[in-house]
Amino acid sequence: MPRRILLTCFGSKISRDFVIDFQKRNDVELFVADANARAPISYCTPRFLSSRSGDHPAFCDELLTYARTHKIEMIIPGGDEDALALMATRERFEQEGILVAVQGKEFIPVFQSKTAQYEYLRGKGFSVPVHERVRTEEELVEALTRLGYPEYPIIMKPNFGRGGRGITLISEKIVRNEDNLPLKNQQSAKKSIDGKTEYILMRYMEGIVYDVDALRYKDGNVFLGVRKRLCTNVTKLFSGNMFDPDEAIGAFARKIYDAMPTEYLVDYDVMVDKKGSMELLEVNPRPSGSTISYLPFGINLYYVLAKSFLDNEHIQIEKNDFIGHSAHAFYTMIRD
């Protein structure tokens, strides 16, 4: 009988390619769930489940009911809120023999706050970006000064935000802004401060962002896949990336993993500036949606993960498979 897995927050157009890929496989059946009952993927598979959003109090109860009804053996979150909610309740699922591909609940504070994540990694001996936390206008002005403003442009984003949401670039002059971020001067930025929301500030870096897929097999082996972004996650015109065999970035990713050895499949965001210096931007508590980049090479990371933990079959991925090739380039632009 085929194994059954459920991917949450999985209603976008790109999910269709995963559905098609799983339909070609006879040993794993894919169920998908999304908070949008009319999500594009709902028209592509009979195994679509309409669910509450990850921040809803009943989200995990509903997923557990779905898992019981459809005999789901493994759940993989597609959103940060989904992952955090499942981290808090993972034991409930495991008591019924259902694997949930998230970290233990002791990691919840580490993934809820960027500064908490940095402090955790610093405590493990890992170098993290210089940053400041602010909540008031006075703290903002003082933090900007400590970070070298106005000589250096500054990035401000909610400390508990997700991905590219709520990012602002603070500068007194026009700067090269390839990410097309909202630009404010200090006076305008002060108006964004409400005294309640906590923000994290860092110097703005110009460079290349890499996604690193960190997959830990059930047998303890680890695969680290490095992908160079052709755009950022706040760019809306197109999206894409290409695999990069750069050993220096691979070694940096290994240091991240050694400092924070995660389970299952998570995503790192790494920045490389023009001088070649590397900085970790964030460790995300769930897989990146751009793992679709592997599909043209016949590799489905969700399938690899399921086979490892459900069947003890550890499918190896060789980095040489990707050298000189690109995948998922301009994907959204073509599909839209």
Q: In the 3-class helix/strand/coil scheme, how is 291-320 assigned residue by residue?
A: HHHHHHHCCCHHHHHHHHHHHCCCCCCCHH
Choosing from 153, 184, 203, the residue where a domain stops is 203
pLDDT of 332 strictly over 60: no
- Mark whether 174 and 233 lie in a shared domain: no
Are both 95 and 20 inside the same structural domain?
yes
Residues 328 and 218 in one domain: yes
* pLDDT band at residue 274 under the 50/70/90 scheme: confident
214 within some domain: yes
- pLDDT higher than 90, residue 261: yes
State residue 171's pLDDT score.
93
Please give the tally of structural domains in the chain.
3
Confidence of residue 182 (pLDDT cuts 50, 70, 90): confident
Q: Which helix (H) or strand (E) holds 155?
A: strand 154-158
Say if 109 falls within a structural domain: no
Q: What is the CATH number of the domain that holds 241?
A: 3.30.470.20
More confident position, 180 or 164:
180
Quickly state the pLDDT bin for 232 (edges 50, 70, 90): low
Note down the domain range covering 185: 132-203
Res 92 pLDDT > 60: yes
Q: What is the pLDDT of residue 320?
A: 66
Place of tokens 């380039």: 329
Assess if residue 299 is contained within a domain. Answer: yes
What is the domain-level CATH number for residue 187? Answer: 3.30.1490.20
- If asked whether residues 227 and 298 sit together in one domain, one would say yes
pLDDT number for residue 58: 98
Q: Are 241 and 288 part of one and the same domain? A: yes
Confidence class of residue 179 from pLDDT cuts 50, 70 and 90?
Answer: low
Question: Is 115 inside a domain boundary?
Answer: no
What φ, ψ does residue 198 adopt, rounded to 5°?
-95, 135
Identify whether residues 18 and 78 lie together within a single domain: yes
Handedness of CA 113, 6, 8, 229 (dihedral sign): positive
117 lies in some domain: no
pLDDT of residue 160: 84
Q: What is the mean pLDDT of residues 123-137?
A: 93
CATH at 50:
3.40.50.20
312/265 same-domain check:
yes
Q: Give the integer Cα–Cα distance in Å for 163 and 262.
A: 19
User: Could you tell me if 255 and 281 lie in one domain?
Assistant: yes
- Kindly state whether residue 66 falls inside one of the protein's structural domains: yes
What integer pLDDT is reported at residue 333 of this predicted model? Answer: 32
Which range, 31-45, 81-95, 290-304, is most confident? 81-95
pLDDT at residue 239, as a whole number: 57
Q: Does residue 123 lie within any of the structural domains?
A: no
- From the list 156, 68, 158, 146, the residue with the least C-alpha distance to 112 is 158
**Residue 335 confidence class, pLDDT cut points 50, 70, 90:** very low
Kindly state whether residues 253 and 162 are assigned to the same domain: no
Kindly give, in sequence order, each residue whose CB lies less than 8 Å from that of residue 247, ignoring residues fewer than 6 positions away: none
Q: Percent of the chain at pLDDT above 90?
A: 69
Res. 203: pLDDT tops 80: yes
216 with 327, same domain: the answer is yes
CB of 262 closer than 8 Å to CB of 216: yes
Summary mean pLDDT of the chain: 89
Q: What integer is the mean pLDDT of 222-235?
A: 74
Do 224 and 294 lie in one domain? The reply is yes
Which of 82, 102, 122 corresponds to the end of one domain? 102
- At 331 the pLDDT is 35
Domain edge (last residue) among 102, 124, 148: 102
Q: How far apart are CA 18 and CA 11, in angstroms?
A: 11
Mean pLDDT across 299-304: 96
Q: Is the residue at 10 inside a domain?
A: yes
Q: Do 149 and 175 have their domain in common?
A: yes
Residue 164 has pLDDT above 70, yes or no: no
How does DSSP classify residue 208? Answer: E
